[in-house]
Amino acid sequence: EGRREFEELLLRCAKTALNSKLIAKQKDFFGKIAVDAIKHLDSDISLDLNMVGIKKVPGGSTTDSFIVEGVAFKKTFSYAGFEQAPKLFKDPEICLLNVELELKSESSNAEIRIEDPAKYQSIVDAEWKIIYDKLQSIVDSGAKIVLSKLPIGDLATQFFADRGVFCAGRVNNEDLDRVAQATGGVIQTSLNDLNKKILGKCGRFEERQVGSERFNVFTGCPETKTTTIILRGGAEQFIAETERSLHDALMVVKRTVEHASVVGGGGAIEMELSKHLRDYSRTIDTKQQLVIGAFAKAFEVIPRQLSHNAGFDATDVMNDLRTAHHQGKIWYGVDIDNEGVCDTMKTYVWEPSANKKNAIVAACEAACMILSVDETIKNPKAGNIDDQRRINPRG
């Protein structure tokens, strides 16, 4: 029961973050995605948003977006033999490599001296034997999926396909790291000691079509500490804006999970802080009273700006807020829907308290830095150049 209530709190915080975004009408949909993504991260250590992959696929509706409880990444560059490899596995073992599996010719300045021309073939055979031994060692390890940061050539692709093994080279570093986190595999830089302990495992692997792209999807991972969000949309610009909005929601949910403390939004906490500081300033009989009073007045900028942005009469709204907070209604803030004031805790307009603390500290530091600047210097030559351009724009 307590966990369900906490998830509801997280969902409301995510919706509040999405209220002012382009995807505000889909805030219920994307709010749930943000909460589900953060829930799967490792809460025992610092929540790392790098473990939440966001992939963008143009086409379809915004609500066609979905979350994968595991890892998904776009199909990498592949050679002809790739299509013969199986694309669906259940409970496969996964080999993660940082090794190039490609037959490479020697550099142009290499020199080999032989006395008998017949021995030349043995040198060529030795090159082939090295690559075949590497490939056979991977197959013998029992791995059914081979992923590498470096290229996997056409020879290796065909070799694996003939033996029912799926392979993908040139996998992005972040994607391979997330596969390692989810499956429990260890990325290998050599093939000398391949064994069952370093192989990853997942419940299901498949290559899935998403829009015009093909994705490699790992689900049912035993150590899932990562998720992937696939974003859909009509235009790339809209998908990019959706990604930025969703990132804000993810950060808000992350902060709430880490600190489990929220305050009322809509300018409520700022008005209460302003009231508290104004009352406190009246207990001081020195010049500091003016400083604290000005600091208190500065907090009112937030609800005033919210009123302006919504097209309300800011003077009336501010008067109503001051009256409400004087009467002890500490969570009263700007009501955007009904042009007035309301209890933001009851309307679920919540924000993580850590975010508010950081915002206040950052604003104070910025103000102090500006006040510490006692003089500015302007380059007179630069000023003359600007004047000349205004007189003769073509010059």
pLDDT score of 303? 92
State the Cα angle at 98 between 92 and 101, rounded to 5°.
Answer: 85
State the DSSP string of 59-112.
BS-GGG-EEESEEEEE-----GGGGGS--EEES-EEEEE---BS--PPPTT---
Going by C-alpha positions, the residue among 274, 242, 187, 216 that lies closest to residue 87 is 216
Could you state, in chain order, the average pLDDT of each consecutive group of 10 residues for the chain (395 residues)? 80 85 89 89 68 88 89 86 87 90 66 77 80 90 91 89 90 89 87 86 90 88 82 88 91 83 88 93 90 92 91 90 92 88 86 88 92 77 59 56
pLDDT score of 1? 63
State the DSSP string of 214-239.
EEEEEES-TT---EEEEEEESSHHHH
pLDDT score of 146? 93
Gap between the Cα atoms of 356 and 265, Å rounded: 10
Gap between the Cα atoms of 351 and 344, Å rounded: 10
- For CA atoms 213, 216, 222, 223, give the dihedral sign: negative
| Helices (H) then strands (E): counts for the chain | 12, 15
Please state the pTM of the whole predicted model.
Answer: 0.71
